[in-house]
Amino acid sequence: MSNKSDTKLQAPAVPASGIKKFWADFSESRLAVFALAVFSTILFIAIFAPWISPTNPYDLSSVDIMNSRLPPGTEDFAGNVYWLGTDGAGRDMLSSIFYGLRVSLGVGAFSGIVAMAIGATIGLAAAYFGGQLETIIMRIVDIQLSFPSILMALIILAIFGKGVDKTIIALGTVRWAY
């Protein structure tokens, strides 16, 4: 008789998928999870602004000049409470912030996409052709990085003019080197 011990064969551990591993690493940081919750809340408010804001700041029929410059927490004659007060035109500041989030997040996202497209194109050209072209591109990047990006964006906006589309282009063109 042999003394073979009864050992159970265990299946090898299945490696976690990329998303599960990322979430496991990400959720270790309380600060990262808190920041994700704050960003998700801001994104939720921006997307659902028409349904959760007390008033529509762009609806001129609901604006009353008698409600201009009300302090925070004031209730008007119609029973509307302005939690953050009103501006000079009588628009609810809380609703203006909710609607303004949409523009701010859109500009941030699209200027990031523009910067990524410009940076990837120029970076790939420098890597593919190399040599003297790479040196020239790197000197241009060094010159751009030596100026404050907000100053460069303001100069570009002064040249192009006003508008959300021009703001996206200006921010995207000054951020491609980062």
Residue 14 to residue 3: CA distance in whole angstroms: 32
Give residue-wise pLDDT tens across range 47-75.
999 999 999 998 988 888 898 999 999 99
C-alpha distance from residue 41 to each of 5, 47, 91, 139 (Å)? 57, 10, 23, 42
pLDDT band at 137 (very low <50, low <70, confident <90, very high): very high
The model's pTM is 0.76
CB 64 within 8 A of CB 76: yes
Give residue-wise pLDDT tens across range 148-175.
988 889 999 999 999 999 999 999 998 8
The pLDDT, as a whole number, for residue 176 is 84
